[in-house]
Chain A
Amino acid sequence: MPSVDFMGKTFTVDEDGFIDSYDNWCEEWVQWVKQQEGIDELTEEHTKVIQVLQEYYEKNGIAPMVRVLSKVTGFKLKHIYELFPSGPGKGACKMAGLPKPTGCV
């Protein structure tokens, strides 16, 4: 597994840049992914999406369906793509430290 040194921290990531464990998530990780995912400025809206994803994941052990994410945050899918250009899976879930989406993608 490759590792990333950033702002004094070391992260272990997979080929797609997802963090190896949710437990290793921290604020510096967010800053690192921000660079990777084409995000200029982190806003409260980014933070809100990340918070919702993390709360859902901690409670349910899986990432929410896109529709649930939209409903809980109140952001339409279009707006989520404005915040995270790679979309809720590759962009937001990665930043929130959730495991990589799987299945027939």
Chain B
Amino acid sequence: MAKHPTPMLDQLESGPWPSFVSDLKQLAEARAQNKEGVEFQIPADVAEDLLGILELSYKHGRTHWKHGGIVGVFGYGGGVIGRYCDQPEEFSGVAHFHTMRINQPGGKFYTSEYLRNLCDLWDFRGSGITNMHGSTGDIIFLGTTTPQLEEIFFELTHKYNQDLGGSGSNLRTPSDCIGQARCEYACYDTQAMCYDLTQEYQDELHRPAFPYKFKFKFDGCPNCCVASIARADFSFIGTWRDNIKIDQKAVQAYIGGEIPPNAGAHSGRDWGKFDIQAEVIDLCPTECMAMDGKTLKINDKECNRCMHCINVMPRALRIGDDRGVSVLAGAKAPILDGAQMGTLIVPFISAEPPYTEIKETVIEPIWDWWMEEGKNRERLGELMKRQGLQKLLEVTGLNPDPRMVQEPRSNPYIFWNEDEVEGGWERDINEFRKDHRR
């Protein structure tokens, strides 16, 4: 018998999609039975009280968590999101319901042994409820009490060699697409770079020293499977500088219908016979492709590497061999001054370990600038708006490049530095009056 009736939540157990309500009930049941005899360190009925308070929120149409919460582990300024419910008497199981962020491995590849260890720890010292994964990438442990935080941290680090993720005004947990692990489009090893930068900037990740949060994301190619261009202050997007590699025989196999376009992604509907002219050549944004008899030609100088042709014919077209990353900066959600996607600041840079050039010429100079000039709770994208892209180029020493703008400015409010203008700004009105009477 459930502790709280949940008529509204019960409706969410029907339908084909995996039901989070059924899962939570299953967990509540398992904790009540406790077949393995675990000495639960937080209330055994945590899942039941979570369902109970959620049902109450469904009824009221309002949240029942109190404002904020500051908890953590010694040595770190982030990693734990404190949370207390506002009905602690009735729902004592979730009186404390803190979230712990655990730094996930690159590409989120796991062994069952590793996950089993984490689950054992979390069943013992937490609610047994997780979020796999938070949108920034972390493994999320959902719901524990303050006294358990240090205990969990000790076991994570000592037994499982596993650290917390980031929260607060600091470098948040970096994340990546699966990259070269199993994708032929990956222009660099996203996981290696994500791992390297995560380790390099541990201090920035654990101890908030920034004006506001800051995120890294690593995409192997412009398809952006980890959405770095929209969800990271620094987006690293793989690309290449030489020519797309064409296998003309495979092109003919696509034309002949032996290989399905887009690796069969549209096979759920009859779109007719593959038409290379209509589906590839005419859709190329720069119109740099053509069939010359039986040969597919690409004018690579005009190609903007949008990935479309490669996505349609992955077995015939491949990324080039001269590879690196583009760096974009400033993406953020709407608060405060509007949503932004990343702005191109480095068109092409090497992405080979130990990534010294990226660290020394891009990341660190921009951090220095933002840490000094950024206002309280001002994202990098907002500082770029306030002080200008030009200022960013000045602090990094990057050269202005036409590729950094979609179009030149249309207003004439152009600022010049004094030393760029002959004679400077110091003028004598009396000199002017000699030629121009009042």
Task: Report A's interface with B, CB cutoff 8 A.
Answer: 15-16, 18, 38, 62, 65-67, 77-78, 81, 85-90, 94, 100-105
Q: Are B209 and A16 in contact (CB under 8 A)?
A: no
Q: Closest CB-CB distance, B300 to chain A, in whole Å?
A: 44
> What 1/0 flags go to B369-404 for Cβ under 8 Å of A?
001100011000000000000000000000000000
Contacts of A94 in B (CB 8 A): 70
B78 within 8 A of A: yes
Contact A105 B78 (CB under 8 A): yes
| Cα(A87)–Cα(B372), bound, Å | 20
The answer to whether A100 touches B70 (Cβ under 8 A) is yes
Given contacts A16-B69, A85-B74, A86-B72, contact A65 B167 (CB under 8 A): no
Determine the chain B residues whose CB is within 8 A of the CB of A77 once the complex forms: 207, 209
The 4 closest A-B CB pairs, nearest first, are: A87-B77, A85-B74, A16-B70, A105-B168
In the bound complex, residues from chain B placing their C-beta under 8 Å from that of A89 are 70, 77, 168, 208
A16–B211 CB distance below 8 A: no
Which chain B positions have C-beta within 8 A of A78?
203, 207
Q: Which interface class (under 10, 10 to 19, 20 to 34, 35 or more) fits B? A: 20 to 34
In the bound complex, residues from chain A placing their C-beta under 8 Å from that of B69 are 15-16
Within 8 A of A (CB), among B55-76: 66-72, 74-76
- Specify the main secondary structure of chain B where it touches its partner: loop
B77 to chain A, nearest CB (A): 4
Majority DSSP secondary structure for residues of A touching B: loop
The reply to whether the CB of B217 lies closer than 8 angstroms to some CB of chain A is no
A16-B70, A90-B72, A105-B168 known; A67-B77 Cβ under 8 A: no
A66–B67 touching, CB < 8 Å: no
Residue of A nearest to B77 (CB): A87
**What is the minimal beta-carbon distance from A5 to any residue of chain B, in angstroms?**
20
B202 to chain A, nearest CB (A): 12
Pick 7 A–B contacts, CB within 8 A, sort by A.
A18-B70, A67-B209, A87-B76, A89-B70, A90-B70, A104-B213, A105-B167
Shortest distance between the CB of A47 and any CB in chain B (Å): 20
Alpha-carbon gap, A100 to B70, bound state (A)? 7
Contact of B67 among A90, A102, A104 (CB under 8 A): A102
Q: Is the CB of B235 closer than 8 A to any CB of chain A?
A: no
Contact assessment for A101 and B74 in the assembled complex, using a CB-CB cutoff below 8 Å: no
Q: How far is the CA of A86 from the CA of B79 in the complex (A)?
A: 12
Q: Looking at the assembled complex, report how far the CB atom of A24 sits from the nearest CB atom of chain B, in whole angstroms.
A: 18
Instruction: Contact check, B207 vs A81: say whether CB atoms are below 8 A apart.
Output: yes
A81 with B70: CB separation less than 8 A: no
User: B146 → chain A, closest Cβ, in Å?
Assistant: 8
**Smallest Cβ distance from A12 to chain B, in angstroms?**
16
Candidates B76, B77, B167, B203; contact of A88 at CB < 8 Å: B77
Enumerate chain A residues within 8 angstroms of B72, measured Cβ to Cβ.
86-87, 90
Cβ-closest chain B residue relative to A62: B376
Other contacts beyond A90-B71, A100-B68: 10, CB < 8 A? A16-B69, A66-B169, A66-B210, A67-B372, A81-B207, A102-B67, A103-B377, A104-B167, A104-B213, A105-B70
In the complex, chain B residues whose CB is within 8 Å of the CB of A104? 167-168, 213
Within 8 A of A (CB), among B165-210: 167-169, 203, 207-210
Contacts of A38 in B (CB 8 A): 74
Q: Which residues of B contact A81 (CB under 8 A)?
A: 75, 77, 207
Residue in B81, B96, B203 whose CB lies within 8 Å of A105: B81
Indicate if the CB atoms of B75 and A15 lie closer than 8 Å: no
- Minimal beta-carbon separation of A1 from chain B (angstroms): 11
Q: Mark each residue of chain B from 402 to 416: 1 if its CB lies under 8 Å from any CB of chain A, else 0.
A: 000000000000000
Question: Nearest chain-B residue to A104 (Cβ)?
Answer: B213
Chain A CB within 10 A, most for which of B81, B167, B207: B207
Name the CB-closest residue of B to A100: B70
A100–B167 Cα distance when bound, in Å, is: 16
Question: With A and B bound together, what is the CA distance between A78 and B72 in angstroms?
Answer: 17
Among A65, A100, A103, max chain B CB count under 10 A is at: A65
